[in-house]
Amino acid sequence: MRSVLIGLIVALSAGGASAQNWPNWRGPNYDGSSGAKGLPTQFSKTDNVKWSVDLPGPSAATPIVWGDRVFVSSTDPATEKLIALCFDRKTGKQLWRDEPAKGYQKERSRSNYASPSPVTDGEIVVFTYGTGDVVAYNVDGSKLWSRNLQADYGKFNNLWTPSSSPVLVDGLLVFEVLQRDMPIDLSKPIDPVKTDTRVDSYVLALTASTGKEVWRVVRPTDAVIEAREAYTTPLPVATKDGGVQIVVTGGDCVTSHDLRTGKELWRWGTWNPRRIPHYRQVPSATVGGGVVLVCGPKKEPVYAIKLGGSGTLDDTSIAWNSSEERVVTTDVPTPLFYNGSFYVLSDMTKRLSRVDPASGAVAWTIEMPGHYKWRTSPTGADGKVWLMNHHGDVVIVDAAKGEIVNTIPMGADDDDNIRSGLAVVDGELFVRVNRKLYCVGK
């Protein structure tokens, strides 16, 4: 199992990707890519749709696919419950449903507690919620264990809804909780509550089969106030010695941790030398072409950090940055690595750019259509980049040429704030809008 995992992680440096499953938020290689072929570029809410199902409420979680099962996290505004769902991949029939937690934010329409994506290895599927609830099932829906991270490790201390997804690597479930160091009053979010209590950011590993803690390490940072907060997801990367490191981005820096112990292997920072207090981190890191791409928030550059370093890295570890190409920037979407190139979607400039991982040279940049925001992270498959905006409009872009192939409305007329990623398996595209899940295929 370990050798298979290492092979998958190494494959992403060459752009290879399994087409059989989509086991986590960013797919089989943790970079948004898939080797899937035969995807239709002509479809609608009815044409080339194998099936569609109604969902109880909105969620930013990406559908997770393994074998003949599709796992979906959801809210239910009517009952204010958080829902774990499993559908038959061939027919869309609901196989099981559970209501493992409760919580709905009426006052925050732009986010909700079902933002983290589920994760699976084909035997265990784990659902995580912004309430701190973590629930593991077997794929048939029998509950294996549950925990609440806030109950076990202290109340989350974030201005926005916690939405980091875990990763499941070699039997370990890895979480990151990056938060400000002083409790906050949400009615006055810029100013910390004056208290002697200090809150640590941390990275945590649990045994996936039991939920028992394997390690927990505090992650220090020089960031201040909101800049300490992050909504990123850990990134597994192979090491030279055949191990696995976990790359964590946020708090004005990027760090790498040993999978087995949590020990910090290296760190680099910062994109925020002035320590601007509101520079919270949303886009996760992406690996490809021998570098880790990390993104400064707002309209800051992206930075390509060379792999293979150790300790505290200085700026000689930067392969390149996009400071002279401020079009290549992102505040929310995580970049895609596909077929040897990075694809960086900027929600700030509404542009998608293809970038060379070795030099940072921009092959092309295109403007995204429409007036809705583009905050869903791009997916790469079948020679194309697949994107979706807040309204549920799916845009298909030729990955080589940078030409828009088609624009297809999949959301309801009143849909907005859609953030779920597009999952691709074999010749099927899974599109989750606020209250519908579509399986698109020829």
Q: What is the per-residue pLDDT for 10?
A: 41
Asked whether residue 400 is domain-assigned, the answer is yes
Q: Which domain holds residue 387?
A: 1-59+342-442
Q: Which residues contact 286 (CB under 8 A, 6 or more apart)?
A: 26, 31, 32, 235, 292, 293, 334, 335, 336, 337, 342
Q: Judge whether residue 184 has pLDDT over 80.
A: no
Determine the Cα–Cα distance for residues 57 and 376; give it in Å rounded to an integer: 18
Asked whether residue 54 is domain-assigned, the answer is yes
Determine the Cα–Cα distance for residues 370 and 14; give it in Å rounded to an integer: 34
Average pLDDT over residues 381-398: 98
Mean pLDDT is lowest, of 58-67, 74-83, 154-163, 349-358, for 154-163
Prediction pTM value: 0.94
Is residue 285 within 8 Å of residue 296, measured between CB atoms?
no
Quick: pLDDT tens for 103-153. Answer: 887 655 567 999 999 999 999 999 999 999 999 999 999 999 999 999 999
Asked whether residue 415 is domain-assigned, the answer is yes
CA dihedral defined by 152, 157, 160, 166, rounded to 10 degrees?
-40
DSSP, collapsed to helix, strand or coil, labels residue 316 as: helix
Asked whether residue 52 is domain-assigned, the answer is yes
- Residue 44's CATH number: 2.40.10.480
Is residue 141 within 8 Å of residue 95, measured between CB atoms?
yes
Quick: pLDDT tens for 417-432. Answer: 999 999 999 999 999 9
Q: Judge whether residue 187 has pLDDT over 70.
A: no
Is residue 294 within 8 Å of residue 305, measured between CB atoms?
yes
Asked whether residue 220 is domain-assigned, the answer is no
Asked whether residue 155 is domain-assigned, the answer is no
Scored b (16 or more CB within 10 A) or e, 272-309 reads beeebeebbbbbbbbbbbebbbbbbbeebbbbbbebeb
Asked whether residue 380 is domain-assigned, the answer is yes
Quick: pLDDT tens for 368-380. Answer: 999 999 999 999 9
Quick: pLDDT tens for 203-219. Answer: 999 999 999 999 999 99
Quick: pLDDT tens for 256-291. Answer: 999 999 999 999 999 999 999 999 999 999 999 999
Query: How many residues make up the chain in this entry?
Result: 442
Query: Total structural domains in the chain?
Result: 1
Asked whether residue 18 is domain-assigned, the answer is yes
